Structure 1
Amino acid sequence: MALVPLGIEDNRNSGALARVRGATLLTHTVLGIVGSGCVDRVVVAGPQATRAEYADAVAAAGDRRIVLAPGGGDRIESARKALLAAAPAAHDIVLVHEPTRPFTPGASIRAVVDAIRSGAPAAVPVEPVTDTVKVIDSRGEVLRTSERENLRRAQSPRGFTAAFLRTVELADALNLADVRAQAVPGHPNGLRVHTPFERTVAEALLEERE
């Protein structure tokens, strides 16, 4: 099985290279991935402008299962290049993860894998939506309140059978467009870390681990 983190970020200020308690988010993320116990290869797609920094982050993880591949001009192209580097034909399941989700629990990763092994062509961890969601028009006026009962926040990794990925457009697959993906339980720790507030949360989570 291959696991392919998306390596593309803003090349001027790559969020994956932000440091939390001495290590980059990318390093924390790939360590969490291999720590799940269900992955045999991790391919990180590194943007050209920050390739050296990505290489350092991968090296800091200290695991030969983690390798660096050239990134593309956007997240889809980066995922495509990482998939080619991962040689998906040699694996039955491909997981696509975001490099700025460093605390995704191993249980969430294993749940995605289990769903695919049980017959789903695709799977994604999700969390319930707890805020009230409003639908607005182009003028910013509220049209209606969306019912939360069937709404979920998608997290990652998003998992696919390698055979399924060969039959669809990669962009459609990653966006789960017209894909009968199986939802599995996500976790609050599966948050994406981008903002200063989220980095503060990340600091707290890492402190709890120590």
Structure 2
Amino acid sequence: MAERPSVWTVVVAAGSGTRFGGAKQYLELAGCRVVDRSVAVAAQVSDGVVVVVPAPDVSSEAAKLSAAAVVAGGPSRAASVRNGLAAVPLDAAIICVHDAARPLAGADVYGRVINEVQSGAAGAVPVVPVTDTIRRVDGGVVDRSTLLAVQTPQAFRGELLREAHARAGDATDDAGLVEAAGHAVVAVEGHSRNIKITRPDDLAAAEAWLAT
């Protein structure tokens, strides 16, 4: 049986929570902080977890989080991921990147993206169908059958993710950077419960999911 490649995860929890109205990653969700839930699941499937938090919180969070390293975020999401990558061992074969604001991502979703990369893909992202009707700003309805909503965790071959970030580009997610570097990223099945905590009602929805 082939040896499993090393897997590390960077959990990005460096946002200020402007749209939420505060640092949502530290809020309690059914008795556990949002960031702690995200880190706990990442740890189940990873050889090590690096957590990226706001710079002022590094010392206090290093004492609270069960992680291999806690590092300061940067001025953008991509910069924060790069700071996290710097703390990941160079021999990590597969690197996952996960937004702490998605605390309900399960080990099954991690498994699907990791398996795709282990099978040879440059990267893999979980997706779900778009169910809302989408309109263009200038008018007209977009055919939602051609759209997919992208989630995290996203998994990549370690050297390709580092290569993409070395270009110092910026994107809303890491798959965009890897694709811009010329590599194909495949889509796998995500999960409807893997919601992103963006506004207060999202936290209530996450609590409802946990209660089911």
Pairwise same-fold verdict (TM > 0.5): yes
Amino acid at match of 2:16: D
Match of residue 77, structure 1, among 79, 91, 102: 79
1:45 correspondence with 2:52: yes
Task: Please name the residue that 1:171 is paired with.
Answer: 170
What aligned pairs does 1:1-210 form with structure 2 within 5 A after superposition? 1-10=7-16, 13-35=22-44, 38-58=45-65, 63=66, 65-87=67-89, 89-137=90-138, 142=139, 144-168=140-164, 169=167, 171=170, 174-176=174-176, 177-178=179-180, 179-208=183-212
- What are the superposed Cα offsets for residues 6-56 of structure 1, whole Å, 9 maximum, x if unpaired? 121117822211111232100011112223xx3111000121133345335
Deviates more, 1:48-57 or 1:22-31: 48-57
Task: Please name the residue that 2:3 is paired with.
Answer: none
TM-score (norm 1): 0.84
Partners of 1:202 and 1:42 lie apart in 2 by 23
Kept after mapping to 2: 8 A contact 1:26/1:57: no
| Equivalent pairs, count | 195
Matched position secondary structure for 1:90 = coil
- What are the superposed Cα offsets for residues 155-193 of structure 1, whole Å, 9 maximum, x if unpaired? 001111012123323635715253421000000111111
Kept after mapping to 1: 8 A contact 2:55/2:71: no
Structure 2 unaligned residues grouped into runs of 5+: 1-6
**1:204 to partner: Cα distance:** 2.1
| Superposition RMSD in Å | 2.0
Kept after mapping to 2: 8 A contact 1:120/1:181: yes
- What are the superposed Cα offsets for residues 93-138 of structure 1, whole Å, 9 maximum, x if unpaired? 111100111111211110000111111101100000011111123x
TM-score (norm 2): 0.83
Kept after mapping to 1: 8 A contact 2:14/2:72: no
